Amino acid sequence: MAECLEKIDLNSFTWRKIREIDLDLEYAVPIPKPIANTLLKELEETLCYFTGDLAQIKVFGKVYPLPRQQVAFGDPGITYTYSGITVPALPWPPLVLSLRDFLYKLKGIKYDFVLVNKYKNGNDHMGEHRDNEPDLDPNFPIASVSLGAERPFVLKHRDARKPKPFRKAIPKVTVILGHGSVLLMNPPTNEKWYHSLPTRKKILGARINLTFRKMCVKNVR
């Protein structure tokens, strides 16, 4: 599989820039459909997801089951704390590592951590949040690789969420994340914009998303 990713012609697709106030995104579909299909199938067959406490989320002190499945991989010693839980980075599976290496070829960034989210159908979702935890190095983009069912990814500026007198009329930005796509969220997007993957009841197919991240050096124990 790694060889298939290595063979992708970097001139065979184009990056689309999406700009708004404080928002800087780059979107492309660099992974051709046959390769994306194989990647999805292999990930479906090989990945196991967190269970127990690591399959829960804390919101305003209350604990809920995650409305999706999740697992994390990364370089030795890395942990990631978000929404009240700390997840350990499991050792890189070869296929996920080959995607990390593909991103290095694409953008010259060597990511050291990835959070994998599996949405079994359109009922599974992710609520509005920012990936601005202190564990993350804010100088690097987060790179989101999507495989499987196409889903809208919705971004909302933090000033558009404020109570009325302080609220700014900044429109939402929606990006449809396709099979084999890569979305780069460049700084300061993550600081200033919330993002979510809302439910879409009519979507029956599964989707796997991998968000590659660069950790602060202090978090590598």
Ligand X SMILES: O=C(O)CCC(=O)C(=O)O
Give the binding site for ligand X (CB under 6 A). 115, 117, 126, 131, 144, 153, 177, 195, 197, 209, 211
Shortest gap between Cβ of 175 and ligand X (angstroms)? Answer: 9
Strands (E) across the chain are located at 16-20, 23-28, 56-59, 62-65, 69-74, 79-82, 85-88, 113-119, 126-129, 142-148, 151-157, 173-177, 181-186, 193-197, 207-213
Cβ proximity to ligand X: between 7 and 143 the closer is 143
- 57 and 64 in contact (C-beta within 8 Å)? yes
Shortest gap between Cβ of 183 and ligand X (angstroms)? Answer: 8
Closest residue to ligand X in the complex (CB): 209
Q: What are phi and psi of 163, to 5 degrees?
A: -60, 155
Shortest gap between Cβ of 117 and ligand X (angstroms)? Answer: 5
Q: Indicate the angle between helix axes 94-107 and 33-46, nearest 10 degrees.
A: 140
Cβ proximity to ligand X: between 142 and 170 the closer is 142
Cβ proximity to ligand X: between 5 and 185 the closer is 185
Distance in angstroms (rounded) separating the CA atoms of residues 127 and 168: 21
At 173, which helix (H) or strand (E)? strand 173-177
What share of residues in the chain are helix, strand, coil (percent, to 5)?
25, 40, 40
Cβ proximity to ligand X: between 98 and 132 the closer is 132
SS3 73: strand
Cβ proximity to ligand X: between 68 and 102 the closer is 68
Q: State the DSSP code for 141.
A: -
Distance in angstroms (rounded) separating the CA atoms of residues 109 and 58: 31
CA count, 13 A, side-chain hemisphere, 178: 9
Cβ proximity to ligand X: between 116 and 169 the closer is 116
Cβ proximity to ligand X: between 5 and 142 the closer is 142
Shortest gap between Cβ of 191 and ligand X (angstroms)? Answer: 14
